[in-house]
Structure 1
Amino acid sequence: MTTNSQFILHSTNPIASDVSVVCGMSVYINDRLEWVKQAVESVLNQTIPPDLFMIVIDGKVSDDISIYLKHAEKTHANLALVHGIKNQGLSTCMNHIIDFTLPLKPKYFFRMDADDICVLHRFEKQINLLEKHRDVDVLGSALWEVDEQGNKAGIRRLPLSHSKLLLAFSRRCPINHPTVAIRYSVFERGHRYLSTMRNTQDYFLWIALANDGCKFANVKEPLLHFRRINGFYKRRGRGKSANEFKARLLAMELLSQKSVKNYCYALFVLALRMMPSKIIKLAYKADRFLLNLKKHN
């Protein structure tokens, strides 16, 4: 079944007509089989699993990952694969899942990355909180940072309340992207990831949502193991650093947060990103330490 000219749906089982919870993930050529397995199984084994777990194979992937995903799709009725004709990036893949599932009228869209691991009650926790707090549109959580072997390296916490999160937008991306659950009502209002962005797409989306009056919150409990792989401190190249700088400027503009202090902070971080990885690593650890010292609410 062809959904558009760039994506082909492969689903052994019919897509359920009654879908409340959707989880979206993409896989690409550089992903590792072991980590993909852990990511997929952590979603499928949730205490409340998604009604539809849609994985986009973003262009060519290794044969072992392809074989594993095809087998998983055949053995799990709630898993569907989408084959991308070519690599198009996370934004386009997630937008495709959103557009494909919108007619099913789901309630919640969960993000997942192919090298992370969900805590087994993540979906249950976030669904229950969203059911209880109907004013929250985007719900993230703290996360465990883990190394390549899965050893915990520390917790990354962010502000919990909407008011604190809103103030943070001009300084940092205040939501851990792979931890989010988003109400589909957000997408019904026309919001999507910027398809032109190959990185920081989440930051720009959150700013657009905040500007549109959407409400944010974070769960204090870490609900995801985030893989901090070798080269993590080098991945923020000039392009990503420039996009983060643009996002901070946009947040200041749209959210009325212009100040000399915020402009200086944005310039400082931009300069820091251009420094050697050892300095970036120290700065990141210091930032995480200061974040965890703060009394979040």
Structure 2
Amino acid sequence: MTPNFSIKHSCYKVHEVPAIVAMAVYEKDCEEWVDQAITSIRQQTYSDFLYVIVIDGHINLSLLAVVMGHAENDDRIVVVEGAVNRGLAACMNFAIDWSLSLKPTYFFRMDADDFSEVNRLEKQITYLNKHSHVSILGTGLVEINEQNKQVGARVMPQTNRQITRLLPRRCTINHPTVCIRYKVFADGYRYDDALQNTQDYFLWIELAAAGYIFCNLKDKLLRFRRVNDFYKRRGLIKSLNEFRARVRAMRWLKRLTAYNFFYACLVLGLRMMPSGIVKMAYKLDRHILEKFIKH
């Protein structure tokens, strides 16, 4: 067990479980949104899972009370405590490693400020049970603001060919919607915990290069929180990581073209622009993506 993490609360009574849902909670997370996120998973129509909530470093007592209140009323919730803030990748890797002994089949991601539709798990598991060749399954999502009002939507390319073709230009799986077969982790793959962001993008590239099959459902099974600072300039490190990911995708997937490289440079420049320009670029990007999916 990773020294920085320890089990704070667990009352589960199973030796094996088909599915794990993993979520990290940070000091700055909103208590109301965390409560909504946990509730949305507890109320799923598919109920045979363990919900691993990793507290990533110190959080205030009121936020802790929200998490523990749910855990004390639901034996499916396991609360993990991290001694220091390690980042999302380390939290997810711990949840993966800890749960391997329970022999799960499916690993679901959840974020602490989002809201899963009540049939999300059921729909994704039903699809994967019927399509054994698919290893990574995402879904569409609805974008909501701080008041839970819809402000947008996002549907990704559905087929493996479209998803991998676009990877050099964009991250084509909505990370908070993803379900991954545990066979991927049994094969040795993990998030890169040296990264504090873009961990999912790098993992998708690695898995695509290894030949794993991706798919996205067009169903919008998650409400994704798009807050006020969504369009603010990305930090230099995050922007450079995204650029590195695009270049890696070009190389590893053998799609190093002048257009793809120009696109990567263009996005890097836009990330550093004022929020108004970023917002316009984001809307244009969504429009282009929808055209690509339709054709």
TM-score, normalised to structure 1, is 0.97
Instruction: Show CA shifts across 1:40-89 (max 9, x none).
Output: 00001000035200000001112111012112111101001000001000
Q: Aligned pair 1:106/2:104, yes or no?
A: yes
Tell me the alpha carbon deviations over residues 6-28 of structure 1, each in whole angstroms, 9 at most, x when there is no partner: 11102341452121100000000
Within the candidate set 31, 34, 39, 2:32 is matched to 34
Asked if structure 2 preserves the Cα contact closer than 8 Å seen for 1:156 and 1:291, the reply is: no
2:209 aligned to which of 200, 204, 211: 211
Aligned partner of 1:63 in structure 2 is 61
Residue ranges of structure 1 left out of the alignment (5+ in a row): none
2:276 alignment counterpart: 278
Instruction: Find 2:245's aligned residue among 240, 244, 247.
Output: 247
Q: Which residue of 2 aligns with 1:44?
A: 42
1:116 corresponds to: 114
CA RMSD of aligned residues (A): 1.2
Three-state SS of the structure 1 residue aligned to 2:69 is: helix
Structure 2 residue corresponding to 1:257, chosen from 255, 258, 263: 255
- Offset of residue 5 of structure 1: 1.6
Counterpart residue number, 1:126: 124
Pairwise CA distance, 1:235: 5.7
- Asked if structure 2 preserves the Cα contact closer than 8 Å seen for 1:169 and 1:251, the reply is yes
Match of residue 150, structure 1, among 143, 148, 151: 148
Distance change (3 Å), C-alpha of 1:160 and 1:22: same
* 1:68-107 → structure 2 map (5 Å cutoff): 68-107=66-105
Q: Distance in 1 between matches of 2:215 and 2:254?
A: 20
SS at structure 1 position matched to 2:97:
helix
Partner of 1:266: 264
- Offset, 1:155: 1.1
Change (3 A) 1:193 1:268: same
**3-state secondary structure, aligned to 2:72:** helix
What are the superposed Cα offsets for residues 156-210 of structure 1, whole Å, 9 maximum, x if unpaired? 1110000111100100000000000000000001000001000000000000000
Structure 1 pair 37–202 and aligned structure 2 pair: CA distance change class (3 A): same
Supply the distance in 2 between the matched residues of 1:10 and 1:34 (Cα, whole angstroms): 22
By how many angstroms is 1:285 displaced? Answer: 1.2
AA of the residue aligned to 1:70: M
Tell me the distance in 2 between the aligned counterparts of 1:236 and 1:206: 21
CA distance in 2, matches of 1:44, 1:246: 37
2: CA distance, partners of 1:231 / 1:84: 27
Q: Distance in 2 between matches of 1:112 and 1:10?
A: 20
Q: Which moved more, 1:228-237 or 1:22-31?
A: 228-237
- In structure 2, the gaps of 5 or more residues are none
The percentage of aligned residue pairs carrying the same residue is 45
**1:182 is aligned to 2:180:** yes
In 1, Cα distance between equivalents of 2:59 and 2:213: 37
Contact 2:54 2:80 in 1 (8 A): yes
Q: Which of 228, 234, 237 is residue 236 of structure 1 equivalent to? A: 234
Aligned partners of 1:40, 1:50: CA distance in 2, in Å? 15
AA at the equivalent of 1:290: I
The offset of 1:253, in angstroms, is: 0.4
1:23, 1:50 within 8 Å by CA — same for their partners in 2?
no
- Kindly report structure 1 stretches of 4+ aligned residues shifted beyond 6 Å: none
Aligned equivalents of 2:246, 2:165: Cα separation in 1: 12
1:255 counterpart letter in structure 2? L
Q: Comparing 24-33 with 13-22, which one deviates more in the overlay?
A: 13-22
SS at match of 1:225: strand
TM-score w.r.t. length of structure 2: 0.97
Q: Which amino acid aligns with 1:236?
A: R
